[in-house]
Structure 1
Amino acid sequence: MMNQTAIFIDAGFLLSLGGHRAAGTTLRSAFTTHYEALVRGIVQTVKKNTGLNNLRVYWYDASKDGLFTEQHKRIGLIPGVKVRLGRISYNGEQKGVDLRLALDLVGVARNRSASIAYLVSGDDDLAEAVEEAQDLGMKVVLLGVAKLDSRLGVASVAEHLALTADYIETIPDHLLDGAFTQVLEWDKNHSEKTSLIAKSPAERATKPNLESTVPTPAVMSNKPAIKSFAEAVPEAEVVYSSDREKSGYQGPAAYEQKELSVAEEIGAKVAESWLAFTTQSEVFDLLADKPQLPPEIDRTLLKDCAQVLGEWKTDQQTIRRTLRGAFWEYLDRIV
């Protein structure tokens, strides 16, 4: 087996954690990702930890019809990066990403192309592929984002996957802070101005204090646009496990009402953040399709909620209905 490494990155997983760290939400319009610096930093981290050269970085993401976007093309042109795309389904879910990653991981191990694989993902579904690669003689290391209050020491990683890997390492904080940047915030009245655009002329006349419906950018803020939702429930411990009956909150947050309350807060916060970065035409389009939400907003609701309640709690229909209902309720109050 070649004495070198290979890096497998679930882009949705990494961008969600990095974006949430920088902007307090996984909404991609709320942050900018410096892809070349991110990839180069991960490769350098792996080399520093192992002393080995890297075969390739495999970058897994999803797109409509599995076609390359301009962003994917730019990432694919980074030296040493191979972009592999799944598809985005009608309801906004990724399809085929985990399968491609699993096949590539096992394929590299079977061809003896690398001796150590670094996996940037938290998905429990990859545990079987990890074990297969290990049986073929490859070491598999989880590379995650540090989370000190987690039992695993990393954020949003399924316990079964963590137990399957040979060991866990973390991406340096300074690398994440440099690779993810919160976008320019609008002034504090932007959300109200944007919502006013969607009102009728008669309704607009009731708020003459707004001098213009054109938002103006503010200075770059060092604080997130919205507060980290994990900070809202410090007494809770998120426990990830493939055994869903034992996953989720322990302690006071185990009560369903507490979880629904957190979901309501997250739904409202995502709506607030979306309004802060949206445009006039996007407001019109969203209201025209009510109650259906665009896939990007729906994914953001679910991912932000998963940061607090865990993936399995977010799968519950009551939680999902509460998230979406709170999003629309906030917009109804503002718009």
Structure 2
Amino acid sequence: MRSKSVIFIDAGFLLAVGGTQVAGTSLRSAFTVDYRKLIQGVLNLAAEHSSLEVLRVYWYDAAKDALFTDQHKKIGLLPDVKVRLGRISFNGAQKGVDLKLSLDLVGIARHRAAEVAYLMSGDDDLAEAVEEAQDLGMKVVLIGITDLSQRLGVASVAEHLALRVDSIITLPAELITSCFITSVAATPRPTPAPGPAHPMITPKPVPRPTPGPGPHHGLSVTSTPTPSAGLRSTRSDSDLVYSSGGLGQTPLPREESVLHVAFDVGESVAKSWYGSTTQRDLNELLADRPILPIEIDRVLLADCAQRLGEYSTDLQGVRRALREAFWAELDQLM
């Protein structure tokens, strides 16, 4: 059999990193993607690297009840692309995506259907599958997105995974900037379908949380500052930790810098959400205030983890700052 390559793309990873670089957030409604051009760019990169014919591209994503959306159908109809869907759980988490990718990677290696696998993901849960595929004689090459602020030089890739692949290559920066387009307007879109009237709801101030009992994992939650120009002006990028699933060997940043990043992320997500939502969704959000929908909360945490690492994002003071900054920025926008 003629030697071939195969490409595995974790869509959640690719869209989150690409969206964050171009639109400043992983919120999918904040950007549009030219999927045909993006996938062709990945195919071109793999062909340049190994000169092997591509068996196919596997595109892994999640959807409600694992049912194809219109966008998934369009992607699945592209030549040599197979869409594999996990499901979205009740709390908005992806389920089954990593398992499907791992099984396909090892299965193709076992059947010797491809000699080289190109993997676009940052999840350290895939490390064992990578090693098993290598033991079966397959080379595994990680495709990353350049981020020179990270020690590995690529964005949101766990060191545990990076240490196990055979090599790392990166997508051209111009491919990301040309395929991801910000779609944020100055105001929410009108409600598209007719229905009951949804009058504007006057925002109510959110009471600040009662200070916690004291320090928590090195970060005091008793002194959460409000976002201010003075705080923003003192940040240095050297104060930040960039990590996903184990990258961060750098010491934790100072409390002020950690909270600054949290406020930064909260404000950015609020701007992106406000400019990509409908008036009806905005009114529903305000009606439930101060509770945030799961999908917004997950974006806040995911975007913060890209900049600070999951360890810092787990701190209660950071989570409180994310949510306070989101509401504060939304009040300013309205």
TM range (shorter): 0.7 to 0.9
**Percent pairwise identity:** 56
Quote the Cα distance in structure 2 between the aligned partners of 1:182 and 1:6: 30
- 1:79 and 2:79 matched: yes
Q: Deviation per CA, 1:291-318, whole angstroms, max 9, x where unpaired?
A: 3323332232122212210234324444
Matched with 1:208 is none
Matched with 2:8 is 8
Matched with 1:235 is 238
**Are 1:236 and 1:250, in contact at CA under 8 Å, matched by a contact in 2?**
no
Quote the Cα distance in structure 2 between the aligned partners of 1:308 and 1:152: 14
- 1:286 and 2:315 matched: no
Distance 1:184 1:308, change over 3 A: closer
The CA deviation at 1:326 is 2.6
**Are 2:149 and 2:242, in contact at CA under 8 Å, matched by a contact in 1?**
no
Quote the Cα distance in structure 1 between the aligned partners of 2:93 and 2:297: 9
Quote the Cα distance in structure 2 between the aligned partners of 1:93 and 1:61: 11
Matched with 2:66 is 66
Structure 2 spans left out of the alignment, 5+ residues: 192-198, 204-231
**Are 1:130 and 1:140, in contact at CA under 8 Å, matched by a contact in 2?**
yes
2:200 to 188, 197, 207: 197
Q: Which moved more, 1:21-30 or 1:62-71?
A: 21-30
Quote the Cα distance in structure 1 between the aligned partners of 2:94 and 2:298: 10
5 Å-filtered alignment, 1:144-293, equals 144-183=144-183, 185-186=185-186, 190=187, 197-199=200-202, 233-236=236-239, 238=241, 240=243, 248=248, 250=250, 254-293=253-292
With normalisation by structure 1, the TM-score equals 0.81
Quote the Cα distance in structure 2 between the aligned partners of 1:103 and 1:5: 17
Distance 1:249 1:330, change over 3 A: farther
Structure 1 spans left out of the alignment, 5+ residues: 201-228
Alpha-carbon RMSD across the aligned residues, in angstroms, is 2.6
With normalisation by structure 2, the TM-score equals 0.81
**Structure number with higher helix proportion:** 1
Quote the Cα distance in structure 2 between the aligned partners of 1:127 and 1:249: 19
Q: Deviation per CA, 1:146-166, whole angstroms, max 9, x where unpaired?
A: 112221111110011000000
Distance 1:297 1:273, change over 3 A: same
The CA deviation at 1:233 is 4.2
Q: Deviation per CA, 1:171-225, whole angstroms, max 9, x where unpaired?
A: 1112112211112633xxx37x99x93229xxxxxxxxxxxxxxxxxxxxxxxxx
SS of structure 2 residue aligned to 1:235: helix
The CA deviation at 1:270 is 1.3
Quote the Cα distance in structure 2 between the aligned partners of 1:66 and 1:232: 42
- Which residue identity lines up with residue 75 of structure 1 in the other structure? I
Quote the Cα distance in structure 1 between the aligned partners of 2:244 and 2:266: 25
